[in-house]
Amino acid sequence: MNVFTTAAALHAWSVAQKRDGHTVALVPTMGYLHEGHLSFIREARRHCSKVAVSIFVNPTQFAPNEDYDAYPHKEEDDIALCEAEGADAVFLPQPAEMYPEDASTWVEETVLSKGYCGAQRPIHFRGVCTVVAKLFNIAAPDVAVFGQKDFQQVAVIRRMVRDLNFPIQIIRAPIIRDEDGLAKSSRNTYLSPDARKAALSLSKALFAAKAAVEAGERDAATLEAMIRTTTTAEGWIPDYVNVVDSETLMPLKTVHPGNAAILLACRREGLRLIDNVLL
Ligand code: AMP
């Protein structure tokens, strides 16, 4: 497995793979890899003959009051995990490699990125779109795999790919959860034992709402209220809970199963978790 730290080296590798008749998939991550990320390497392999994983904690998607400096790292372990999963390349750039000191160009999606997490984190998606566009130019993949866990992120990336004509297929891979239901996240490492236990209320509330829809409930406000009650009882205060159209992310008043999702973000003790479920 190749480990690259420069954009030029990853690009040259990708071009050479394609010249040899391979297809290339990119799995973008911020590292501190868990089973969710590793499942993407396997998913990527189903689509392409070569798989590159990027590991880069992107400074431009964090506001000054967020956890950029505290974000967990374990690069050596991550490289070993990628190798064990059969990745062909890992891209591990330093911030200076990705952002010249006087960088002054941004990629901004202006509709799907504004609500939900974008409302709480106004510069977040501009940073995500900019770094993902750069990774796409550097790695020149045929396919890129993103996680349903960040539901709004995938919608924004798909819109960017469509609007800017990136010749790249975007795969939305399912959420990987701990056995008890909590969506895996690198940030789960911040949870105290109490908060970890109480965090189960997020997935529990989403699954209960999904079951209610399967039993015939169609009113979005009723579902959202159910979820708020369950999470709040465990000390997780919702930033937002919304039944949305799964493509446009527009809030729905009435659920149309097959074309809807419930998105939520909750806070407790300064920590923020997101989760969602497709209906
Ligand atoms: P991150 O390293 O947390 O920025 O995530 C990198 C990619 O992995 C993003 O596309 C996330 O949506 C995805 N991801 C993170 N956690 C999960 C999970 N538990 N299940 C599925 N995808 C995930």
Which tokens belong to 168? 């790249």
Please give the Cα distance from 209 to 206 (Å, whole number): 5
SS3 53: strand
Ligand 1 near 147 CB (within 6 A): yes
Only one residue has tokens 């200076």, namely: 96
Cα end-to-end distance, the chain, whole Å: 39
> 11, 37, 47, 73: which one is catalytic?
37
Structural domains in the chain, CATH included, are 2-173 (3.40.50.620), 186-278 (3.30.1300.10)
SS3 239: strand
Contacting residues for 13 by C-beta, under 8 A, at least 6 apart = 2, 4, 52, 89
Handedness of CA 129, 133, 135, 139 (dihedral sign): positive
Ligand 1 near 149 CB (within 6 A): yes
41 Cα–ligand 1 center, Å: 12
Q: Kindly give the number of the ligand 1 atom that is closest to the alpha carbon of 183.
A: 19
- Per-residue pLDDT of the chain (279 residues), as tens digits, is 999 999 999 999 999 999 999 999 999 999 999 999 999 999 999 999 999 999 999 999 999 999 999 999 999 999 999 999 999 999 999 999 999 999 999 999 999 999 999 999 999 999 999 999 999 999 999 999 999 999 999 999 999 999 999 999 999 999 999 999 999 999 999 999 999 999 999 999 999 999 999 999 999 999 999 999 999 999 999 999 999 999 999 999 999 889 999 999 999 988 999 999 999
Ligand 1 near 141 CB (within 6 A): no
What is this structure's pTM? 0.95
Q: Is 37 a catalytic residue?
A: yes
Beta bridge partners of 4: 91
184 Cα–ligand 1 center, Å: 8
Only one residue has tokens 């169609």, namely: 218
In contact, 87 and 52? CB cutoff 8 Å: yes
